[in-house]
């Protein structure tokens, strides 16, 4: 099949029956969209055996479609995203304030973090909050949830979040019936769902958000797979976002490795004296700039710069352990007095969400914790 749909997912020409035979001819002669746009119509007509008039008409229509789509740029999305009606609350008050309203419609947002940090919890929570009425920060629309790793969404956890919201906002406000779930166990199945099934399902359900948990599992460690399918997947996700829904994708993280010093990654690893090695200097410059698109954690999002260029916003979830001192009060029944005894320091897990970059708000970070009803912020 001609790569027209993969290159421009919103193209109506790819499904126009008037040009079905012409598209078939393009496919038979292995012509790409780039070939169609850069080859003179007369030469194309000779190659595919079609009328030059038909080809000129098709190329003109295709060029007009591309010109219209190019007007919908990243900055246009960022401007439109400032409208509060086009934001989906995360259910975490501090994160909503940081993101100027929540997750943005028409944009691709990445949620990255290590295992057990709360990525899937946040995704399940978004599947619930999108169902809330606009007055409560939602869109009043259903969610589509694609799971690729654990065999499907965690239904018990999702139900606990839904029950918590129904207790808070009233029975029947949100429901598991409004979460359409898919499980894809390989990249070919995922591409088939995104390319053919989701456009129809989005139109049928009027979905407000697409949640993909996760993408990195298919692309990490396979260079050939990354080169052949990575850009197609990213283009399809951006095309779905332009249909008027929010797209949120989970990404994994990888450890940072200091290539110049063994002391660490951050400022302590920078040499006190200028390096004479141009390679070392290039590495240091990259480290300085990486904080603006990778975040300031010991771990960095996977999939590299190619994927970073495909997303509109990046949220990095972090987790660390600190020792906290607790005091226990002992009550004396004889003299009705109490005394405090300092206990041994105990380790406690802390979590935060960092907005690494976006087109509509400043970078920042908020702490949160996970309870039975989902994620809540820590004031």
Confidence band of 222 (pLDDT split at 50, 70, 90): low
Task: Dump pLDDT digits (tens) for 30-73.
Answer: 888 888 888 888 888 899 999 988 988 988 888 888 776 654 44
Pairing of strands 179-183, 143-147: parallel
Greater confidence (343 vs 26) lies with: 26
Contact predicate 236/6, CB 8 Å = yes
Task: Dump pLDDT digits (tens) for 98-123.
Answer: 999 999 999 999 999 998 899 999 99
Report DSSP state, residue 197: I
C-alpha pair distances (Å), 273 with each of 257, 277, 282, 283:
21, 12, 15, 15
List the one residue out of 123, 138, 125 whose CA is nearest residue 85: 138
Give the burial class of 107: count Cβ atoms within 10 A of its Cβ; 0-12 exposed, 13-18 middle, 19 or more buried: buried
Greater confidence (164 vs 340) lies with: 164
Task: Dump pLDDT digits (tens) for 239-254.
Answer: 899 888 999 999 988 8
Does the pLDDT value for residue 265 go beyond 50? no
DSSP string across 149-190: SSSS--HHHHHHHHHHHHHHH-TTSS-GGGEEEEE--SHHHH
Decide which of 3.90.650.10, 3.40.50.300, 3.20.20.80, 3.20.20.210 is the CATH code for 74-256+298-377. 3.40.50.300
Taking the domains of the chain in order of start, what are their residue ranges? 4-70, 74-256+298-377
Greater confidence (194 vs 322) lies with: 194
pLDDT at 281: 53
pTM: 0.69
């Amino acid at each position: 099949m001609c790569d027209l749909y993969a290159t421009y997912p919103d193209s109506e020409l790819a499904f126009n029956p008037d040009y079905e035979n012409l598209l078939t001819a393009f496919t038979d002669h292995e012509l790409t969209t780039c070939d169609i746009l850069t080859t003179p119509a007369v030469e194309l007509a000779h190659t595919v055996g079609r009328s030059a008039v038909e080809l000129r008409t098709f190329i003109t229509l295709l060029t007009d479609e591309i010109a219209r789509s190019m007007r919908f740029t990243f900055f246009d999305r960022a401007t439109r995203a400032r409208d509060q009606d086009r934001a989906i609350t995360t259910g975490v008050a501090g994160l909503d304030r940081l993101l100027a309203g929540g997750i943005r419609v028409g944009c691709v947002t990445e949620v990255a973090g290590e295992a057990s940090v709360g990525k899937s919890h946040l995704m399940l929570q978004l599947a619930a909050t999108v169902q809330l009425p606009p007055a409560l920060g939602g869109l009043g629309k259903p969610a589509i949830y694609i799971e690729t790793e654990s065999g499907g969404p965690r239904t018990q956890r999702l139900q606990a979040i839904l029950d918590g919201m129904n207790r808070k906002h009233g029975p029947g406000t949100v429901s598991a019936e409004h979460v359409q779930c898919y499980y894809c166990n390989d990249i070919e199945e995922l591409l088939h769902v995104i390319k053919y099934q989701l456009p129809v399902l989005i139109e049928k359900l009027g979905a407000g958000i697409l949640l993909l948990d996760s993408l990195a599992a298919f692309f990490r460690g396979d260079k050939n797979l990354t080169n052949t399918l990575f850009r197609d997947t990213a283009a399809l996700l951006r095309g779905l976002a332009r249909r008027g829904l929010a797209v949120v994708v989970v990404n994994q993280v990888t450890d940072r490795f200091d290539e110049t010093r063994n002391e660490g990654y951050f400022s302590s690893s920078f040499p006190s004296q200028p390096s004479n090695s141009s390679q070392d200097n290039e590495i240091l410059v990259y480290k300085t700039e990486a904080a603006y698109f990778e975040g300031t954690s010991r771990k960095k999002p996977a999939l590299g710069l190619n994927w970073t260029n495909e997303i509109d916003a990046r949220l990095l979830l972090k987790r660390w352990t600190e020792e906290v001192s607790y005091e226990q009060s002992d009550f004396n029944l004889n003299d009705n007095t109490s005394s405090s005894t300092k206990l041994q320091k105990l380790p406690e897990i802390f979590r935060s969400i960092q907005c690494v970059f976006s087109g509509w708000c400043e970078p920042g970070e908020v702490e949160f914790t996970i309870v039975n009803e989902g994620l809540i912020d820590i004031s």
